[in-house]
Every structure is written in structure tokens, then in C-alpha cells.
């Protein structure tokens, strides 16, 4: 279908050397987009460039910390000069700290908010002027189950991802008249390095209790894969979603729809 095509578009995916960002960028490239990504250091960018090259994708990689407004502004000007203006921004870079709230320092809380919420604000702010001028643009914020649900040890992450859902709605509200669509993707529990500690085998070889817990909480009865996010990302990046704005598309195998299994 023609309006799912991203031919001629430039997509910038943050923190996309591996994991969910890499899978989303690969999908956008398969749909025709030119890929630009950033990561926090040169080593990660080189690792990403190698991974894209293995898929025959000619990606453009840059070192840039999404929390640093000067670095972000230089990144956007450099990309405009070397590749072109960004048509699609995917705010993917993010971290989590699993610490009981009463033991978490304010500095640790701030760091999570800084990367997971201030980062997307800074990135979006940097690409909006060119999108407003062109009267076209797509911003996709990677939200979370924690945009809707809480659990032990993830207070900062839940606060950031809940905030990111509202930033998504606000960008849609404020810039919809410029034909800019800002939507979120809310991945369920996805097997990536970020969730590896929750899937580690126990000393006796049995599954991690959180691993079994998530499989039981997910109607699909499995962890998601980064590739599960490919189709939703292409949809939200393409003209097929031109009248979808301020929406969070949960890609969670049904977690948010499910009350949970009755105990035996
Ligand atoms: P990941 O494997 O940890 O990858 C995140 C990437 O972001 C890494 O390359 C990371 O670099 C980079 N990054 C961190 N801080 C950055 C900064 N300040 N500036 C630029 N890049 C930075 O995570 P993932 O599981 O693929 O998750 C990607 C996104 O999806 C995150 O926003 C996450 O919260 C969200 N998410 C994940 C899941 C899941 O189940 N995995 C579910 C819902 C939402 P480093 O390697 O240096 O940290
Ligand atoms: C956790 C997880 C989650 C996921 C994801 C869910 O500790 O509960 O890491 O927060 O990464 O964001 O959608």
C-alpha cells in the first residue's frame, strides 16, 4: 500500500545502536526511509553502524547525548547539512533504574527523568521548527506499560513514561494544525538488554520469577521481541496515520486488556 511507504523521508531514531531503536530504524529503512541515529558514545555508534551495514542499511550515526541541548541542536544542524531535514523523529533513548523509591536518591530520580522525559522534549523542540515550516512531520515517543501502570522499584521510570504520554498528547495538541502528528508506542515487556536482568536464569537453572510472572500476565504468553514494534512504527511514521494524533499505541501482547490468570 503506497501510503505506508517512507521513500524520500529522513528518520532520526535516538539511542538506536541496538535493541528496540535498532529494530524500529531497520523497519523504517525497509519501508524506504534514510536512517540517522545517535548514541551516547563513539563505541556504541560504531557498533550500530556495523549492525546496520550487516543488514545492508547505510545509516548515518552521530554521538549525541539527548539530555544536552547544545549537543542536540548541533546534531540537528549537522544532520540538516549532511543528510537533510528530519521528517520522522523517534524518541527511543531511555534508561531504567530499579530501586525501591525510599532508597532512591533524588539524583538517581532526576537522571531517569532527564533521559526519558527531558530528552524527548529537547529532541522534539529541535526538530519542530523545520517541521512547522514544511507543514509536515512525525514524532513517535517510545512510552511503556509504565505510562499506565506502576510496580515496585520503578517510580522514576513510571513518572517519566507517564509524563512522556502527556508530552505526546501536548505536542499533538499544540502542533496538529501544522500537520505534525505526535504519537507514542507503548511496548509491553520486550526482550532487550534493558530487561535482561528480569529474565536471568536462577542458580538452579529455573526461570526468573519475573520471567514467569510476565508470561502469565501476557495473553500472548511470551515476551515481545524488538521486531514486534516494526509494523506499528512504520504505521505511525507514514502517511497512513495522518489523522492519528496524540495516541499511544500499546504493543503489549494484550497485557493492558487482561485482568490476569485466576489462581489455581
Ligand atoms: P536499551 O537496550 O537499554 O537501549 C537504549 C538505548 O538508548 C541504548 O543504546 C542507550 O545507550 C541509549 N541511551 C541511553 N541514554 C542515552 C542518552 N542520554 N542519549 C542517547 N542515547 C542514550 O533499551 P531498549 O529496551 O531497547 O529500550 C528502548 C526504549 O524503549 C527505551 O525508551 C525504553 O524505556 C523503552 N521500552 C523498553 C521496553 C522493554 O521491555 N525493553 C518496554 C517499554 C519501553 P547505553 O547502552 O549507553 O545505555
Ligand atoms: C520493569 C521493566 C519495564 C519495561 C517496559 C514495560 O522493570 O518493569 O523494565 O519497565 O522495560 O518499559 O513496558
Q: Which atom of ligand 1 is nearest to the CA of 226?
A: 26
- The pLDDT score that the predictor gives to residue 148 is 98
- The pLDDT score that the predictor gives to residue 2 is 72
CB-ligand 2 contact for 156 (6 Å cutoff): no
How many whole angstroms from 189 Cα to the centroid of ligand 2? 6
Residue 65 lies in a domain: yes
Domain tally for the chain? 1
Ranges of H-type helices in the chain: 19-30, 42-54, 69-82, 106-113, 119-134, 155-175, 209-217, 230-237
CB-ligand 1 contact for 251 (6 Å cutoff): no
CB-ligand 2 contact for 157 (6 Å cutoff): yes
CB-ligand 2 contact for 197 (6 Å cutoff): no
Cα–Cα dist 63/52, whole Å:
16
Contact 164, 140 (CB under 8 A): no
Residue 261 lies in a domain: no
Cα–Cα dist 55/30, whole Å:
10
If one residue of 13, 40, 217 were mutated to test the ligand 1 pocket, choosing by the most ligand atoms within 8 A of its CB, it would be 40
Phi, psi angle pair for 253, to nearest 5°: 60, 15
Give the domain extent around 88. 2-189+224-256
- The pLDDT score that the predictor gives to residue 210 is 97
Residue 61 lies in a domain: yes
- The pLDDT score that the predictor gives to residue 198 is 96
Residue 127 lies in a domain: yes
Residues of the chain with pLDDT under 70: 1
Contact 25, 13 (CB under 8 A): yes
How many whole angstroms from 221 Cα to the centroid of ligand 2? 16
Express each pLDDT in 67-99 by its tens digit. 999 999 999 999 999 999 999 999 999 999 999
- The pLDDT score that the predictor gives to residue 18 is 97
CATH code of residue 248: 3.40.50.720
Atom 48 of ligand 1: nearest residue by CA position: 95
Residue 264 lies in a domain: no
Active site residues: 157
CB-ligand 1 contact for 120 (6 Å cutoff): no
Residue 201 lies in a domain: no
Name the average pLDDT for the chain. 97
Residue 204 lies in a domain: no
Q: Which atom of ligand 1 is nearest to the CA of 66?
A: 19
Residue 194 lies in a domain: no
- The pLDDT score that the predictor gives to residue 1 is 64
How many whole angstroms from 16 Cα to the centroid of ligand 1? 8
- The pLDDT score that the predictor gives to residue 264 is 84
- The pLDDT score that the predictor gives to residue 251 is 98
Amino acid at each position: 500500500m503506497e501510503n505506508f511507504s517512507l521513500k524520500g523521508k529522513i528518520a532520526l531514531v535516538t539511542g538506536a545502536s541496538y535493541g528496540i531503536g535498532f529494530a524500529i530504524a531497520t523497519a523504517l529503512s525497509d519501508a524506504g526511509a534514510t536512517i540517522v541515529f545517535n548514541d551516547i558514545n563513539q563505541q556504541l555508534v560504531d557498533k550500530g553502524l556495523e549492525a546496520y551495514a550487516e543488514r545492508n542499511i547505510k545509516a548515518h550515526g552521530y554521538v549525541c547525548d539527548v539530555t544536552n541541548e547544545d549537543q542536540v541542536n548541533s546534531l540537528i544542524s549537522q544532520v540538516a547539512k549532511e543528510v537533510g531535514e528530519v521528517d520522522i523523529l523517534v524518541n527511543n533513548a531511555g534508561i531504567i533504574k530499579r530501586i525501591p523509591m525510599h532508597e532512591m536518591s533524588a539524583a538517581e530520580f532526576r537522571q531517569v527523568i532527564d533521559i526519558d522525559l527531558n530528552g524527548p522534549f529537547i529532541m522534539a523542540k529541535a526538530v519542530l521548527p523545520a517541521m512547522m515550516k514544511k507543514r509536515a512531520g512525525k514524532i513517535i515517543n517510545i512510552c511503556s506499560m509504565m505510562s499506565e501502570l506502576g510496580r515496585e522499584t520503578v517510580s522514576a521510570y513510571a513518572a517519566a513514561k507517564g509524563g512522556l504520554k502527556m508530552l505526546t498528547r501536548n505536542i499533538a495538541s499544540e502542533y496538529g494544525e501544522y500537520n505534525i502528528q505526535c504519537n507514542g508506542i507503548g511496548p509491553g515487556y520486550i526482550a532487550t538488554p534493558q530487561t535482561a536482568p528480569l529474565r536471568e536464569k536462577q542458580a538452579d537453572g529455573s526461570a526468573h520469577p519475573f520471567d514467569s510472572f510476565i508470561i502469565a500476565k501476557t495473553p500472548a504468553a511470551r515476551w515481545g521481541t524488538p521486531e514486534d514494534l516494526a509494523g506499528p512504527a512504520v504505521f505511525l511514521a507514514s502517511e497512513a496515520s495522518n489523522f492519528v494524533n496524540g495516541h499511544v499505541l500499546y504493543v503489549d501482547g494484550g497485557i493492558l486488556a487482561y485482568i490476569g490468570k485466576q489462581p489455581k
